[in-house]
């Protein structure tokens, strides 16, 4: 199977080329030329398998030229019990008779990014071998908090790679910042950018399209690659857990064969929910995909009206990993829904770039309404949801997951749709201890690490080991830069 660019489908690439390159040269994103379909009895066979076995099967459908042996090794290493604190890898927690929570934060950085970023380095290494690439891949990452740490952990000391992460100086939580500043490994770099996430992401995109920089780095033996969710190697591992969650529910007889479920996802860059859409495209029985946003509700408006308009105030919220006004992966959805109309996608993306807005045609909007529902939650209702989940279900959730539960609640009231729903839980509540404590009405003067123990004492839930060990680590990276100076940081890092 080959991959094409969303902005020029005449260009086709092997899976290894798509993963090694990250982003297509003309700015488009790689997508499979044809989506594989789950064979008739696949879910039934997968339900009795481990997470790792499910992963090999599903990734194999997308990665021609990768052997099962290669995928088995990658999967065993990425999803080992050294990396994940549960054998299930992505366990499903039953909240009530028709609500299930898919916990995606049992990995080394306690956020769902681990699900993909533990796998991506293996896929990239294999891809470099298959494309006979001799240069070192320099992974550039713009992060709203969780991707950065996840990528640093995934790539640390991986051969033939270096990784440099930019995060918005005032746009990540204390714990996220400390996680990155204390990162270990010989091939890693971290810099704060004075600005918000979009500044960091726009800066990184500029670096990727800077031909002069490319040429200069090539001479020094480097090429730029991406670990952002625009890389296909990030999207693919995310498809696995939706299919896996469905298989768990089948196995545990919570649902019957063929039964449709809704999937509700707290969304920022549209990567996680896009993977759910792809799972549906493969034939997973899914009714609605519910897209949940925080006060930065550009996606809510878009999915409801068909107009994407980033010209709006940017809010810093208690769910910072969703503080995003340009959701890059939406481009992939539009490509599929427009029936692979690359010229149209190029037009929309050009309008987004020049005017900050575009409106999709009615055919696309109809398809969006068939597959998606959307809603947003403000700060107060997000916090109230954390408190009510704890009180009514004795279940502790983080701020991002709370946005999803609140939006689901609104959706159910509005539509009376009582379809069994899987809610993606994207971070450990301990990663956002300050906001979670405040939601639980615990007042404290403390900030940063002491809040971990306070949250544990308050709730009786244990601090995850990777966060508990932060207090013993030393800070290595404290520098920041203006957004115009990101290129200098790259040059210095790859000197």
Q: How far apart are CA 193 and CA 169, in angstroms?
A: 5
CB of 191 to ligand PLP, least distance (A): 20
Q: How far apart are CA 204 and CA 208, in angstroms?
A: 6
CB of 114 to ligand PLP, least distance (A): 10
Among 107, 189, 237, 268, which residue interacts with ligand PLP (rule: CB under 6 A)?
268
Closer CB to ligand PLP, 46 or 422, in the complex: 422
Helix ranges, 282-321 (H): 298-305
CB of 111 to ligand PLP, least distance (A): 4
Closer CB to ligand PLP, 109 or 182, in the complex: 109
Q: Are 163 and 152 in contact (CB under 8 A)?
A: yes
Q: How far apart are CA 92 and CA 245, in angstroms?
A: 6
- For the chain, the residue count is 495
Among 269, 294, 317, 341, which residue interacts with ligand PLP (rule: CB under 6 A)?
269
Site string for ligand PLP, 151-180 (x = CB under 6 A): ------------------------------
Q: Which stretch binds ligand PLP (CB under 6 A): 51-59, 160-168, 268-276, 474-482?
A: 268-276
Closer CB to ligand PLP, 91 or 268, in the complex: 268
Q: Is 297 in the site for ligand PLP (CB under 6 A)?
A: no
List residues bridging with 140 in a β-sheet: 164, 226
- Beta strands 161-168; 188-194: pairing state: parallel
- Beta strands 3-5; 30-32: pairing state: antiparallel
Q: Is 116 in the site for ligand PLP (CB under 6 A)?
A: no
C-alpha pair distances (Å), 364 with each of 8, 125, 247, 335, 341: 19, 37, 30, 10, 11
Q: Which stretch binds ligand PLP (CB under 6 A): 86-94, 263-271, 384-392, 450-458?
A: 263-271
Give the residue carrying structure tokens 């959701």.
327
| CB-neighbour burial class of residue 448 (10 A; exposed 0-12, middle 13-18, buried 19+) | middle
Q: Residue 211 half-sphere exposure, CB side, CA atoms within 13 Å?
A: 3
Closer CB to ligand PLP, 24 or 328, in the complex: 328
Q: Are 136 and 162 in contact (CB under 8 A)?
A: yes
C-alpha pair distances (Å), 375 with each of 272, 281, 404: 16, 22, 9
Q: Is 328 in the site for ligand PLP (CB under 6 A)?
A: no
Q: Is 113 in the site for ligand PLP (CB under 6 A)?
A: yes
What is the four-CA torsion angle of 190, 194, 196, 198, rounded to 10 degrees? -70
Q: Is 229 in the site for ligand PLP (CB under 6 A)?
A: yes
Reading phi first (left if > 0) and then psi (alpha if -120 to 50, else beta), residue 170 is in: alpha
Closer CB to ligand PLP, 123 or 344, in the complex: 123
Q: Is 270 in the site for ligand PLP (CB under 6 A)?
A: yes
Q: How far apart are CA 421 and CA 99, in angstroms?
A: 5
Number of residues that bind ligand PLP (CB under 6 A): 17
Q: Is 288 in the site for ligand PLP (CB under 6 A)?
A: no
CB of 94 to ligand PLP, least distance (A): 21
Query: Which of 83, 113, 280, 288 is labelled catalytic?
Result: 113
Q: Is 427 in the site for ligand PLP (CB under 6 A)?
A: yes
Reading phi first (left if > 0) and then psi (alpha if -120 to 50, else beta), residue 64 is in: beta
Closer CB to ligand PLP, 21 or 229, in the complex: 229
CB of 426 to ligand PLP, least distance (A): 3
Q: Give residues 377-416 in contact with ligand PLP (rule: CB under 6 A).
A: 400
Q: Which stretch binds ligand PLP (CB under 6 A): 78-86, 95-103, 106-114, 184-192?
A: 106-114
Instruction: Give catalytic status of residue 483 as yes or no.
Output: no
CB of 238 to ligand PLP, least distance (A): 8
Where does this chain bind ligand PLP (CB under 6 A)? 111-113, 146, 229, 266-272, 321-322, 400, 426-427
Please list the active-site residues: 113
């Amino acid at each position: 199977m080959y991959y094409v660019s969303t902005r020029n489908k005449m260009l086709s690439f092997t899976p290894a080329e798509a993963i090694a390159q990250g982003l297509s040269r003309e700015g488009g994103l790689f997508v499979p030329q044809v989506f594989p379909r789950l064979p008739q009895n696949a879910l039934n066979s997968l339900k009795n398998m481990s997470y790792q076995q499910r992963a090999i099967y599903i990734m194999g459908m997308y990665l021609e030229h990768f052997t099962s042996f290669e995928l088995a090794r990658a999967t065993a290493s990425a999803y080992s019990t050294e990396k994940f604190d549960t054998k299930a890898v992505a366990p499903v927690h039953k909240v009530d008779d028709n609500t299930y929570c898919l916990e995606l934060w049992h990995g080394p950085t306690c956020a769902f990014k681990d699900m993909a970023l533990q796998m991506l380095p293996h896929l990239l290494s294999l891809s470099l071998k298959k494309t006979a690439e001799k240069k070192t891949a320099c992974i550039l990452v713009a992060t709203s908090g969780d991707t950065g740490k996840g990528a640093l952990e995934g790539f640390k000391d991986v051969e033939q790679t270096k990784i440099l992460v930019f995060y918005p100086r005032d746009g990540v939580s204390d714990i996220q910042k400390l996680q990155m500043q204390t990162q270990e490994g010989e091939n890693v770099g971290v810099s704060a950018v004075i600005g918000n996430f979009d500044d960091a992401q726009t800066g990184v995109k500029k670096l990727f399209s800077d031909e002069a920089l490319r040429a200069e780095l090539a001479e020094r033996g480097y090429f730029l690659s991406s670990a952002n969710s625009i890389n296909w190697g990030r999207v693919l591992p995310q498809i696995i857990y939706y299919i896996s969650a469905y298989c768990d529910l089948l196995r545990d007889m919570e649902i019957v064969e063929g039964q449709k479920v809704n999937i509700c996802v707290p969304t920022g860059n549209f990567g996680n929910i896009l993977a759910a859409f792809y799972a549906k495209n493969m034939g997973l029985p899914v009714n609605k995909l519910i897209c949940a946003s925080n006060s930065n509700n550009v996606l809510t408006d878009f999915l409801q009206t068909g107009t994407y308009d980033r010209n709006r105030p940017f809010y810093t919220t208690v769910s910072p990993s969703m503080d995003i006004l340009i959701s890059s992966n939406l481009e992939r959805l539009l490509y599929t829904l427009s029936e692979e109309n690359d010229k149209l996608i190029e037009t929309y993306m050009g309008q987004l770039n020049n005017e900050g807005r575009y409106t999709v045609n009615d055919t696309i909007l109809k398809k969006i309404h068939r597959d998606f529902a959307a809603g947003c939650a403000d700060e107060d209702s997000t916090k109230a949801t954390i408190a009510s989940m704890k009180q009514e279900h004795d279940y502790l959730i983080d701020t991002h997951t709370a946005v999803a539960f609140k939006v689901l609640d609104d959706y159910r009231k509005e539509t009376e749709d009582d379809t069994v729903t899987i809610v993606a839980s994207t971070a450990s509540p301990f990663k956002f201890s300050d906001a979670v404590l405040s939601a639980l009405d615990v007042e404290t003067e403390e900030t940063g690490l002491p809040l971990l123990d306070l949250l544990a004492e308050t709730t009786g839930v244990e601090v995850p080991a990777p966060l508990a060990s932060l207090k013993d680590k030393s800070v290595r990276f404290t520098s920041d830069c203006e957004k115009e100076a990101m290129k200098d940081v790259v040059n210095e890092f790859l000197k």
